[in-house]
Amino acid sequence: MSSFNFIQDAVQAIEAAKAQKAKTPQKAPQKAPDPAAHWKQQEEIIEDALEHAGISAVDVQLDSNGFATLVGQVSSEQQQQLAVSIAEQFELNGMDVQLEVVDVEAAFEDMTSIWAEVAKSAQPQEATYTTKKGDSWWGIAQRFYSDGTRWKKLKRANGWPKMLHPNVELKIPAKDALEKYAEE
């Protein structure tokens, strides 16, 4: 990105934010302008300008003396420079930049691995089931594993009882743990 385009983008974002503020109805003018209100309005315009520039994870904090703090995350050093350039257009009395450049792809990979761990830990653990009149091994396997053909492994996990009787507590292993039981 050339520096001219960079500056042009910043100026366009500022102009768009100011135009948006001009469209919103304002309160009646006060007799003596309040410096805190002025800086609060500038803070909102800077945040709107950042939004128009596609930078949404940055919080702008202006104190009553016009000192700005930019806090948040950006996806590149160019976005960081653009955010600073936009803020510098507002005659601030100083600025503290606390923007973290985050590698979006690495963050996505981290989130993917985190969700994989969550899914892994969310796997159902061993459960118990109390049999009822009319239950069959096939029916119980179908209910818990969505596959009635696993009935032999389920029966093996419970010590191969000859018959199912009502009110007998069965061990229902997790689906992946069921695979260790032979069907013999």
* Cα–Cα distance list, 112 to 74, 115, 116, 119, 170 (Å): 20, 5, 6, 10, 36
Q: Which two tokens stand for residue 89?
A: 């257009």
Residue 43 within a domain:
yes
Instruction: Give 148-166 pLDDT, tens digit per residue.
Output: 899 999 999 998 888 899 9
Residue 122 within a domain:
no
* CATH code of the domain containing 147: 3.10.350.10
Q: Are residues 99 and 142 in the same domain?
A: no
Residue 9 and residue 52 in contact, taking contact as beta carbons nearer than 8 Å: no
**Cα(142)–Cα(155) distance, rounded to whole angstroms?**
13
**Cα(159)–Cα(177) distance, rounded to whole angstroms?**
15
pTM beyond 0.85, yes or no: no
C-alpha dihedral over 168, 174, 176, 180, to 10 degrees? Answer: -40
- State the residue range of the domain holding 132: 127-178
Instruction: Give 98-112 pLDDT, tens digit per residue.
Output: 888 887 676 667 677
Q: Are residues 131 and 47 in the same domain?
A: no
Residue 184 within a domain:
no
Report the pLDDT averaged over residues 55-83.
Answer: 87
